[in-house]
Chain A
Amino acid sequence: MALIIITIINVSSINPIGVGTASAEEKHIVPLDQIVSGGPPPDGIPSIDSPKFISVADGNKFLLDSDKVLGININGDIKAYPLQILVWHEIVNDNVGGIPIAVTYCPLCFTNQVFNRTINNTILDFGTSGKLYNSNLVMYDRTSKSLWSQALGEGIVGKYAGIKLNKIPFDVAYWKDWKHLYPNSKVLSRDTGSARPYGADPYGDYYTSPEILFPISNEDSRLGLKEVVVGLEDNGIDKAYTVNNIQKQKVVNDQISNKSMALFSLYPLMVRAFDPVLDGQTLTFTYNSKNSTFIDNQTGSQWDIEGKAIEGTMKGKLLSRLPFDEGFWFEWAAFHPATEIYS
């Protein structure tokens, strides 16, 4: 026991790269006293910086159908990042479809987020800072040592404080559905360079138990704390949509502020948001249960889950995907206290 205490004190006090030694003079956009240490030093939870990928067939050797993956499709480059690997690393610095991206995952808030790592023509590498803001992952970039909030997708302390990262649309899906949709997808390998107990989730039944064990700012009882929501924002207006709700309806046509959006869902957990304005026309959609497609009410064209028109006058046209936040309700409400809820 004493050995554990000594080890932890020693490890916690190591900060060789000067991350998070923020002083009051340093540029910051959140109160510094609300950025707290989680215990480990910077990079104590190591990011994956040279990810290796395997085929779906090889992924099947360690992934169960019920395992969750974070999936990305950029310029036809399709990759799946199993959450059972991300839970031990939280950040993957990767290049997908020629775009440098950071795939991030905060298990406590179930926030998945993918960012473009390029800021002003500089490609940043992200690591875990060992710090938390509102119980959410705080990343740091290895160039400027600035701290970044994963939930906000924004620099919070240092040179890049106030700078927002560009979010990239992604999916959270069950492995069964992902491999069915993308049999040629690449899958993040367990060969990460770090020996970790992949396959064991250290958070146990945390995801399914209704309570949380830590205090949160702005507890909002309108939804269950761990209800999974997708959050969208436009012009300072925030809106949360429960994934359950979208799954039941299959399609949601809605507006935030004056911006229209359409949300599609064909598979559990997997929600996609699209900009329904095409050629100056705002489309609204209805689910077509006959062949699991979506029909727009304006032209009667059929659209697939990729947002591509596959039949009708719009055939060949593509809706552009909108990035959003996905995570537990308590986290969305903590970061967006004035949020509206779609009902």
Chain B
Amino acid sequence: MKIKMRSAKSESLIRGALAGCITLIIYLLVVVITTPNLPLLAALNAAVKVNWIIIIGLSVGLGSQAFVSSYERSLGCRITNKKKGILGSSSSTAISSFFSFFSLIPLGCCGSWLLILSLLPSVFGGAFSVFLIQHSKPLSYLGLLIVLGYTTFTALRLKKELKKIRKIETNRKILRG
């Protein structure tokens, strides 16, 4: 059982790291594509400078979420609703990323994000769009908080489940002994 748990853990760690890296790469890719006026390194440097908390937070958050959900599955636990969990984290990540991209507008006059923001009123209406733009920073942090909060919540429940499993294992050993 111990060997099985160890191998499940390392496999899940790899999955988690992969998910974190993919999140990071996609985020930076969007930055590069939407700021064609800047050299690659300048665009990345600026994005990291402005949004490093969001970038690191989302990568760690989504990576941890992938680790937890992979680990619980390999142990046969059903702590979280897999579909809902992934959907929730992904949506929060997308929302957090989206709002954090607003701070890329000062990277270029007439930039892609100015164009995207121009289109907001046709989706959300004028007044709500103004609210979203004026509060984009707190909204991006709120998204990050949801991702990290959800990950922490599932991690704690997994820890509780693992404790239960270990207790059952110990009881079994005592009974066998």
Contacts and interface: CB of A to CB of B under 8 A. Distances in A.
A242 interface: no
Given A132-B37, A202-B105, A40 B112 contact: yes
Interface in B109-149: 109-118, 120-122, 126, 129-130, 133-134, 136-137
B39 A215 contact: yes
A39 B34 CA distance: 6
Q: Name the residue in A8, A39, A40 with the highest tally of chain B Cβ atoms < 10 Å from its Cβ.
A: A39
Contacts of A8: 33-34, 112, 116
B46 A132 contact: no
A201 B137 CA distance: 13
A197 interface: yes
Interface in B43-70: 46, 49-50
Contact of A215 (B30, B38, B103): B38
Interface string A6-39: 0011011000000000000000000000001111
A19 B83 CA distance: 47
Interface in A60-99: 88, 90
A5 B33 contact: yes
A39 B108 contact: yes
Interface in A197-217: 197-204, 206, 212-215
Contacts of B113: 39, 202
A44 interface: yes
A195 interface: yes
Given A38-B112, A45-B118, A137-B110, A195 B126 contact: yes
A146 interface: no
Nearest to B108: A38
**Which of B39, B109, B111: most chain A CB closer than 10 A?**
B109
A12 B116 CA distance: 12
Given A5-B30, A45-B110, A196-B118, A37 B105 contact: no
Interface residues of B, number: 43
B36 A197 contact: no
A130 to B, nearest CB: 6
B34 A203 contact: no
B120 A197 contact: yes
A44 B111 CA distance: 9
Contacts of B98: 4
A147 interface: no
B34 A45 contact: no
A112 interface: no
Nearest to B106: A206
Interface residues of A, number: 43
B156 to A, nearest CB: 28
Given A1-B26, A204-B103, A215-B38, A39 B110 contact: yes
B106 A212 contact: yes
B21 interface: no
B46 A200 contact: no
A232 interface: no
B79 interface: no
Given A5-B30, A196-B121, A214 B133 contact: no
A9 B34 CA distance: 9
A137 to B, nearest CB: 5
A202 B103 CA distance: 8
Contacts of B111: 38-40
A88 B118 contact: yes
A214 B109 CA distance: 11
Contacts of A40: 110-112, 114-115
A130 B115 CA distance: 10
Nearest to A199: B130
B105 A203 contact: yes
20 contacts: A4-B30, A5-B29, A8-B33, A8-B112, A8-B116, A12-B112, A40-B110, A88-B114, A90-B110, A130-B110, A132-B37, A135-B37, A135-B109, A195-B126, A197-B120, A200-B134, A204-B103, A206-B105, A206-B106, A213-B49
Q: A-B pairs with the 3 shortest C-beta distances?
A: A39-B112, A108-B109, A200-B133
Interface of B: 26, 29-30, 33-39, 42, 46, 49-50, 94, 97-98, 102-103, 105-118, 120-122, 126, 129-130, 133-134, 136-137
Given A12-B36, A204-B102, 14 more contacts: A1-B26, A1-B30, A38-B110, A39-B110, A40-B114, A44-B110, A88-B114, A90-B109, A108-B108, A135-B108, A197-B133, A198-B126, A203-B105, A213-B46
